[in-house]
Amino acid sequence: MYKRYIHKIFCFNKIIAILIVLNFVNINFLLADGEKGYKIKVVVIDAGHGGKDPGAVCPTGYEKDIALSIALKTGKYIEENIEGVKVIYTRDDDTFVELYKRAKIANDNKADLFISIHANANTSSKPFGCETYVMGLSKSASNLEVAKKENSVILKEDDYAAQYEGFDPNSPESIIIFSLYQNAYLDQSLDLASKIQNQFKEKVQRHDRGVKQERFLVLWKTTMPSILIELGFISNPTEAKFLFSEEGQDYMASSIYRAFKTYKHEIEKNSEETEPEKVEIPIKIDSTNNKNNIIFTIQILSSTTKIPLKPKNFNGLKDVKEFELDGIYKYIVGEESEFGKIIEYQKNIRKKYRDAFVIALENGKKISVKQALEEIKN
């Protein structure tokens, strides 16, 4: 009983510490003062498993070999075709790297993106297709089984209980901690994951098993948009043959590269469009005569589950509102019809939420800030 009480106190203190880190850490994804547009400069590519951990095994070979080959091919495509992007690998040979070290490599290098590459397996040879995961909580038994399989590698690590702070996927405290870590970059992670799945489906004609969310330890503490790709099932003979082939690996790597390229372009373009310096004169409108009914507000969080609208859940912020978009709950604060005012308000909000950003709503529906400004001008 005493040990259980001490454990709960530890978990509570852990949660408070995470909130502090999430709100005050110098996150590389954010624009620095005076910077004229965010650029994606560092990408960490993580080849799953390695060394003494083969991952999934089939008659054709090991998951670790597929993951490494496609990780290196993807990185090479990026380095050769996109100027100004540094690619860092968590491993570039057949070595064992602990899960927590993979996230640390990304954090220490202030990466803008973390891509973890894996292959799936099943006790049945029938399942096939690719899927991409982001950090999150789901009630799907099949999703959880995939996470358990990938997380089980920690049993091969020395002193894993201390490194993962007593992680227990069935513990309510662990679930709370996971939910706190998932919020900051959920939108961006889902965006990239969707682009990758579209490439697999449209360009390589792979079966699309969709974008999913689950508790992966390798994504747990990354402080940037992060995804985990399951390339396909090597327990399926046809899919294994494709994934172990040079041609198949080239196709999959080039798909990840193309998705990254599109993601990078859109993120950087949106960053330039929403910079206040790009607006010559703050646009003022009389909200009582605003025919377009456009307002600007600040998005502070995204979550796959509802968060009670209480100030204590939002660092003391009052009047936080919620809306749902594509199954994701968005939390916003502040409403201004004047773009200049919302930019000033954003500076105050970023003292509590460093990744807070401006969005525009028209008749309660989200539109791009660029579209909102154009409509107001007209």
The pLDDT assigned to 352 comes to 79
Q: What is the pLDDT along the chain (378 residues), one digit of tens a residue?
A: 444 444 444 444 444 444 434 443 333 444 333 344 678 999 999 999 999 989 999 999 999 999 999 999 999 999 999 999 999 999 999 999 887 788 889 989 999 999 999 999 999 999 999 999 887 654 444 444 544 544 445 444 455 444 544 455 445 455 445 544 444 677 788 889 999 999 999 999 999 999 887 766 666 667 788 899 999 999 999 999 999 999 999 999 999 999 999 999 988 887 665 444 333 333 333 344 445 688 899 888 777 667 888 888 788 888 898 888 766 778 899 988 888 888 888 888 888 776 678 888 888 788 888 788 888 776
Contact at 8 Å (CB) between 63 and 118?
yes
Angle between helix 63-81 and helix 237-244 axes, rounded to 10 deg: 40
Strands (E), 250-303: 294-303
Q: Is the dihedral of CA 284, 285, 287, 288 positive or negative?
A: positive
Matching residue, tokens 């390589």: 204
The pLDDT assigned to 33 comes to 34
Q: What DSSP character marks residue 32? A: P
The pLDDT assigned to 9 comes to 40
Q: Given its phi and psi angles, is residue 212 left (phi above 0), alpha (psi -120 to 50 degrees) or beta?
A: beta
SS3 124: coil
> d(Cα 41, Cα 224) in Å, to the nearest integer?
12
Angle between helix 2-24 and helix 172-182 axes, rounded to 10 deg: 0
Q: Tell me, yes or no, if the pTM score tops 0.75.
A: no
Q: For residue 171, give the nearest of 137, 143, 142 by alpha carbon.
A: 137
Q: Given its phi and psi angles, is residue 129 left (phi above 0), alpha (psi -120 to 50 degrees) or beta?
A: left
Give me the domains of the chain, ranges plus CATH numbers.
2-270 (3.40.630.40), 275-377 (no CATH)
